[in-house]
Amino acid sequence: MRLYLLPISTRRTLLYCQKLNAPTTERPTWGDWIQSKASRTWAGWEKKERGWQKSVVNYGNYAFRRIPYEEWGLKSVPPLSQRRRVVERNGSEKIEVVYPKSLLAMDKVPGILETLATERQSLHKRRLIWCLVGMPITAPIALIPVIPNLPFFYLVYRAWSHWRALAGGKHVQFLVQQSLLSLTPSPVVDEVYAAQKLPLPSTPQPTTDAIVSRVESFDPSSEERHQHPEGETMLLSQANGKKMTQALDLPQLEVELERAIWQVETAIKKQNAALAQADSGPASAKGASESDTAPKEEGKKSQ
């Protein structure tokens, strides 16, 4: 496999794992078979023009787009099997990490990877437990004829998704702790970032209080840094995200980048809207109070 670190903004980085050609002697696991079967079924439903399957696909794609891109990134990393653990510990297999040298310093890359691997572990564990609790509660819905038990299957999928994110995070954490990474700066990735025109959406304040992967070496124009010293600035647009997938020859990365860019842009817009509302609130309240007191003051003068 090969790992990619692609900064989306000055505070958030997408982790993506490319699965390279597996050895022919390696047999697929039951999890791989189920995932492949589900993908084929979902693709078949997407081709339908109408019906409940098409409605499920539409609502499902809407929900999938809102699953955090960090979770999708960790899910792209395969679980750390015992065989892989032995091979990687012996040093016979190192995992390549591709990143932009212009945005990420080499000595920061292992720390960013470990942060991405561990910062959401407690959240995934907590939500996995809630999904497991909810599955027996929703299971009796299957007794209703005709109607498929969508709540149950949704909880099953989300439980599997949280488990895969946990497993992928543990795999990345293992690679960092065992120094099994081969850091490879990519001129191709740097060229895509260099071609990105500024300014991009920004916010003067962080969009989240959670631990985030910072791009410490990011150095935009002095004017942009002065306007947003502690905030967050986008580093990729949707158009350049597509150019990134083309430059890396990774068509499967396009969906991941599109989702991540959309989510970060949406977070920045919401933060800016909240700040604008907070700034206008006191001013409007002050204006309203002045307008209320003005007639009283005029009345006193007339008397």
The pTM of this model reads 0.78
pLDDT at 10 over 70: yes
Query: What pLDDT does residue 302 have?
Result: 45
Asked if residues 108 and 32 have their Cβ atoms less than 8 Å apart, the reply is no
User: Taking all residues of the chain, what is their mean pLDDT, rounded to a whole number?
Assistant: 80
Contacts of residue 59, Cβ cutoff 8 Å, sequence gap at least 6:
none
Query: What pLDDT does residue 279 have?
Result: 78
DSSP state of 279: H
Closest to 217 (Cα-Cα) out of 4, 13, 3: 13
Asked if residues 112 and 97 have their Cβ atoms less than 8 Å apart, the reply is no
pLDDT at 16 over 50: yes
Comparison of pLDDT for 102 and 46, the residue scoring more: 102
Domain range list for the chain? 2-278
pLDDT at 177 over 70: yes
Query: What pLDDT does residue 62 have?
Result: 75
Q: Each residue of 91-113: b (16+ CB within 10 Å) or e?
A: eeeebebbbbbbbbeeebbbebb
